[in-house]
Structure 1
Amino acid sequence: MAAPAIYRGAAVDGTRVWFSTTEAFPGTGDTDWAEDIYERRPDGKVRLISTGGRNIGTTFLRGHGGKGPVWFATHETIPGTGDTDTASDIYERTNGNVLRLVSPGSADEPAQFLGASVDGKRLWFGTAEAIPRTGDTDYAYDIYQRTTHRAITLVSLGVSDIPATFVGASADGSRVWFRTDEAIPGTGDTDLTRDIYEATAGRVRLITPGTANLDAHFVAASAVGARVWFRTREALPGTGDTDQSHDIYEAKSGAIRITVRN
């Protein structure tokens, strides 16, 4: 009896649809009975996205519209990709049917998909593993970026064993925002409470100034990333704020102004 199919997503223009099923579709190369990801293409043909021969399931992450890639996660060590551990890793299936490992590493630490740019050329993932040749020197959870050229860079440039959390990115992926309790050296942060940082062009800058031990929380950002909104109970100097209620501030070109006062 045929197994059920579960809808997972579709390209914006509707030319590609992704679904998962435990059924091995004939002619696709699927040889196991684990859940796999399939794509229905414009010509009506079905192709297997998540290749593997072992009965280990896969998780659909995201598909890109047009001719972009499809991303999925699995614990399976897929032959020929360079994966050497049994932790959950992220894989990419290109429109040209090339399968690539996105999250390298060998420490059996899982990789978590965090997001991708609108054009699909940048992807972000998090892991507690210090990936070689990225400059990561701690054992905390960090954020990494992978480009279509397969280059991997460390986004959260911290040096202490304090985790970083991805909170957003601009539409084109040129700006990434994360929060951490770590005072990242060279940014002017002087407290040990939660702050918001922006990573761009290999550099990190502090978005949320202040010296009181009060957390700052990311709220939103404009599509291009020129404006970032955050909230904090700290009354930031020069903004006219005089209380310790949660207020919303806007950061733009290094300047801070209050936008909503409670």
Structure 2
Amino acid sequence: MLLPERKKELDALCRKLRAELIRLLYKTQSGHPGGSLSVCEILTVLYFEKANTGRGEERDRILLSKGHAAPMLYLILAEKGFFPKEELETLRHIDTRLQGHPCMNHTPGVELTSGPLGMGLSAGLGMALGLKLDQNPATVYVVLGDGELNEGTVWEACMSAAKFNAGNLIAIVDRNHVQLDGAEEEIMPMPHLEARFRAFGLDVFSCDGHDIAALCSAIDAAQAAPGPSVILAETVKGKGVSFMEGKNIWHGRPIDRESFTAALRELEG
């Protein structure tokens, strides 16, 4: 059970990370603010509370399949000490280790190169099955976007995960209901997601993806499930900045001076 004081600490960390994200993307004039803001609590809970993020072979693997949210991942990896915080200012620069999407061959702490949506769950399943063969107790967590669920490879991975009983595989869907080009309902409706995942053989849990305690409880339940599982974490694209919330234009839009000032006023005021 998450203690109230610990919840306050993690909530405060999320507020700090959101403000740092806005500063970073404003300075870079590039990146993806909307999806980075929506996934903040999910990644924070994994890296700072639930997953074993050590450097050994028994570490848990956290895969950011929705690779466009790399800026939030980099902020968290720097906070965890995988690389110096000063390096964050090289985001998307020539020859940087912090590319626009995560690269496992260059960036410390990145477990999977991602960017082409729909690939992360398949890669995570392969890792999970390999860990089982090695009798390694590690868990593989795969963080997906809900727009990414339009990809057929996601559902092929679900079928295979159920068939091979990958109980050490947990998918977490950042369910913010908005894609690059518009709302999910406009682009490709995905109703009855709980029933869909269950039909493919996964255990399904749902929670508020911005509630630290609810996320922790959902992950505990998924860890206790005998087979592969998925957590549908209800979130808001652009969470924390009112004029970005729920707006697809902030999927990958550069932050201008006026928006930068207004966003920081909300996040830090």
Q: Which has the higher helix share?
A: 2
For the pair shown, the structure with the greater C-alpha radius of gyration is 1
TM-score normalised according to structure 1 size: 0.27
Question: Which of structures 1 and 2 has the larger relative contact order (alpha carbons within 8 angstroms, sep 6+)?
Answer: 2
Q: Which has the higher strand share?
A: 1
